[in-house]
Amino acid sequence: MQGSFQPTMERPPVTTGVTRALRTPDRLGGSAGTRARKVDHGLAWLLQRTVGPARVRVELWDGSSPSTAPSRPVGDMVVLDRKTLLGLILNPDIWFGEAYMAGRLDIRGPLEPVLEALSGLSLPTGSWRDRLATAMAIPNTLSDARRNVHHHYDLGNDFYALWLDRELVYTCAFFDHPDVDLETAQKAKLDRVCRKLRLRPGDTVVEAGCGWGALALHMARHYGVHVTAFNVSGEQLEYARSRAAREHLTDRVSFINDDYRNVRGRFDAFVSVGMLEHVGLAHFETLAAVLRNSLKREGGRGLLHFIGRDTPRPLNAWVRRRIFPGAYPPTLAEVTTRILEPSGMSVVDVENLRLHYAKTLSHWSERFAGAGNEVRTIYGEAFRRAWELYLAGSQAAFATGWVQLFQVVFSPREATPPFWTRDEPVDEVRGRA
């Protein structure tokens, strides 16, 4: 086996707290122990060869590292047992998350920079496992959609209140400049969506996937529109309805406990922020029919705000298993050819806000870390570590460009576009209309 091993001397302790009980003990003595250690070192050498280009150093449970490890690494990947070592070689997409969640793998040094470095090792077109997952993807039925939403969004409003902004906006914020605080940036995003839609008093708006209701209430309060908002998360709807009642907006906003597939009626505007990722390719034709049947052909306009890709590939396997079951981030080509074109819509504007999402996730990660003890007490350490990894990994993915955040404005093909330029003042648009 190529390479040799060297002990790791005087390293600082692992920052997030290694579960020491999981360290593989050296129970084997004599020749059997020697053979086992040679196998361990050989496997670690293979893993180091894989992650070496990312300048990440592999360290085993006995403190040793391959001699080929970088001398000045971004961080150390501390593997705490043999099963995890083998899993990281055979199926890293699943095992990295599972092992980190269980405390069988840890990172020495800041988590996000290590994940950002490792993101650069991914194949642009995905692995054979990615292609197989895409081919075998099961369409989200109505019951599947409710179950998937419940898995992620019904963890409890109190959980999300620990680390989101005051209005519980769980989508990408918009930062006019990097020093803006999260609350200001989220309000700027809500207003940016409304301005892109060129909302006018008296307009009727349908929102597919309304979260805790922040956008629907913002549209009604500040733009004088009437909103019908659909959602299948019971916890989110309860919160949104309660807030609408407190703010005396129940006459302008209706929160409907139903799936986007059951939207009925004609509206001046259609908006979906953070819902398209949960639709799935198999139901893009269904969403196209909803747009075709719900948006007024004369003067209608819409906006899709969604996590996407530059090339087709599924979401990370561990994220699909533990965080977002049934989710798929589409490419712009898939959205335009499978949703907008069949619905008779024309693309008016496309904006990529991926760096804004990386910044948003940085804020969320910092707030989540501050609430770590509360999360651990209520949900357990494995849950806390899973979400720590999910938030840091998502930040890394947006920062490196492996995922994108698209805002697409569209209107019926035969209609006059809602604006001349994206930043044109709303009053000028009204004057031309």
Tens digit of each residue's pLDDT, the chain (433 residues)? 444 434 333 333 343 443 443 455 555 555 666 787 888 999 999 999 999 999 999 999 999 999 999 999 999 999 999 999 999 999 999 999 999 999 999 999 899 999 999 988 875 555 545 555 444 555 555 555 445 444 455 578 999 999 999 999 999 999 999 899 999 999 999 999 999 999 999 999 999 999 999 999 999 999 999 999 999 998 999 999 999 999 999 999 999 999 999 999 999 999 999 999 999 999 999 999 999 999 999 999 999 999 999 999 888 889 988 888 888 999 999 999 999 999 999 999 999 999 999 999 999 999 999 999 999 999 999 999 999 999 999 999 999 999 999 999 999 999 989 888 887 776 544 444 4
Asked if 335 and 303 count as a contact pair (C-beta separation under 8 A), the reply is no
What is the spatial distance between Cα 316 and Cα 16, in angstroms, rounded to a whole number?
Answer: 23
pLDDT value of residue 432: 40
pLDDT value of residue 23: 53
Answering whether pTM is above 0.85, one says: yes
pLDDT value of residue 232: 92
pLDDT value of residue 26: 54
| Residue pointed to by tokens 């194949």 | 123
| Residue pointed to by tokens 């007490």 | 377
Instruction: Read off the tokens for 204.
Output: 């009727």
What is the spatial distance between Cα 328 and Cα 165, in angstroms, rounded to a whole number?
Answer: 26
What is the spatial distance between Cα 105 and Cα 236, in angstroms, rounded to a whole number?
Answer: 34
| 235: nearest Cα among 146, 364, 166 | 146
pLDDT value of residue 34: 73
pLDDT value of residue 142: 53
| 275: nearest Cα among 252, 242, 244, 308 | 308
Radius of gyration over alpha carbons of the chain, in Å?
24
| 167: nearest Cα among 240, 246, 251, 250 | 240
Listed in sequence order, the DSSP H helices in 110-233 are 111-119, 128-135, 142-153, 157-161, 182-197, 214-223
